[in-house]
């Protein structure tokens, strides 16, 4: 009997099929939350699972959790920037020239501005985040913004994330060199234990909170100074637009944890902003 040499190195496989892509998609349960609260919900679920003992006995899952935390951060970035475009007329003018894919418009429908606008934008790394904020919000982030120094750390984390998602846990040389990782013997494996995951989550959480605060300051100032100049501005529109702004940025989770630095109500905050720019 002659040898079928082509079948002599590994198993043979029959047909495989992605049966129903719809089974991979379920309605998003947290839609009513602000982007920051949605981020917290996702991150909390990940971190509460990734205990020291769990990660110690499931070493392979560390990078997966890291990928999850960073995916939650990117989702926040898309949601918050998209949200600003939805509520802010200045951002709308700036983003008017940006293109979206027809598929995004078909899929997201009415929410295409909020959800679909940033589907094509890369938000990995500091340069991409600052570029996207400039292109869609018309705001240039600088060193005096709280998120600036966090973006430096986020940039470094993105290098590590690249290994987690794209390189099968092997640390790519380009990323290792950019990070200044000490050379190891042989191939470097990406390791994400409890300490590393907590640190990464702290960076992502800090990015979310600071960018949320920085963009709120920008949009609130525009509400007080620039939007009233647009035609058809009425007291009713003023009230609605403030409420939309507040709902976009306010974190009920931070409020319930007593973490808001200067707690106040939606109305009092509105009055304070109006007074600050009167």
- Cα 209 to Cα 211: distance, rounded to the nearest angstrom: 6
Closest by CA position to 194, among listed 57, 38, 9: 57
SS3 32: coil
Question: Cβ of residue 206: shortest distance to another protein, in angstroms?
Answer: 5
- Cα 262 to Cα 221: distance, rounded to the nearest angstrom: 18
E strands in 87-178: none
Closer to another protein by Cβ: residue 189 or 199: 199
Question: Cβ of residue 121: shortest distance to another protein, in angstroms?
Answer: 23
The DSSP secondary-structure symbol of 23 reads G
Closer to another protein by Cβ: residue 43 or 190: 43
Question: Cβ of residue 154: shortest distance to another protein, in angstroms?
Answer: 11
How distant, in Å, are the alpha carbons of 72, 155, 159, 203, 205 from that of 75? 5, 16, 18, 15, 12
Pattern of binders to another protein over 126-165, x per CB under 8 A? ----------------xxxxxxxxx---------------
Polymer length in residues for the chain: 278
Question: Cβ of residue 196: shortest distance to another protein, in angstroms?
Answer: 9
Task: Tell me which residues in 188-207 interact with another protein (CB under 8 A).
Answer: 194-195, 198-199, 201-202, 205-206
Pattern of binders to another protein over 234-263, x per CB under 8 A? -----------------------xxx-x--
169 phi-psi bin (left φ>0, alpha ψ -120 to 50, beta other) = left
Q: Give the binding site for another protein (CB under 8 A).
A: 40, 43-44, 47-48, 51-52, 142-150, 194-195, 198-199, 201-202, 205-206, 209-210, 257-259, 261
């Amino acid at each position: 009997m002659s040898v079928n040499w082509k079948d002599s190195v590994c198993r043979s496989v029959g047909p495989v099929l992605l049966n129903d892509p719809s089974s991979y998609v379920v309605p998003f349960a947290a839609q009513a939350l602000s982007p920051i609260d949605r981020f917290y919900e996702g991150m909390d679920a990940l971190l509460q699972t990734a205990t020291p003992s769990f990660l110690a006995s499931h070493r392979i899952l560390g990078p997966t959790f890291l990928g999850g935390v960073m995916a939650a951060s990117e989702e926040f970035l898309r949601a918050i920037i998209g949200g600003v475009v939805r509520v802010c007329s200045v951002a709308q003018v700036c983003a008017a020239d940006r293109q979206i894919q027809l598929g995004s418009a078909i899929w997201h429908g009415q929410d295409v501005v909020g959800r679909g606008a940033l589907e094509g934008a890369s938000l990995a790394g500091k340069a991409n985040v600052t570029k996207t904020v400039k292109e869609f919000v018309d705001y240039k982030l600088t060193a005096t913004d709280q998120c600036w120094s966090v973006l430096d750390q986020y940039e470094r984390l993105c290098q590590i994330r690249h290994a987690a998602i794209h390189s099968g846990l092997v640390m790519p040389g380009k990323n290792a060199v950019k990070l200044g990782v000490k050379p190891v013997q042989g191939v470097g494996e990406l390791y994400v234990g409890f300490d590393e995951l907590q640190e990464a989550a702290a960076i992502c959480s800090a990015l979310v909170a600071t960018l949320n605060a920085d963009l709120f300051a920008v949009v609130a100032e525009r509400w007080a100074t620039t939007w009233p100049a647009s035609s058809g501005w009425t007291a009713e529109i003023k009230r609605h637009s403030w409420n939309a702004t507040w709902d976009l940025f306010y974190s009920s989770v931070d409020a319930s944890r007593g973490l808001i630095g200067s707690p106040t109500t939606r109305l009092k905050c509105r009055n304070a902003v109006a007074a600050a720019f009167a």
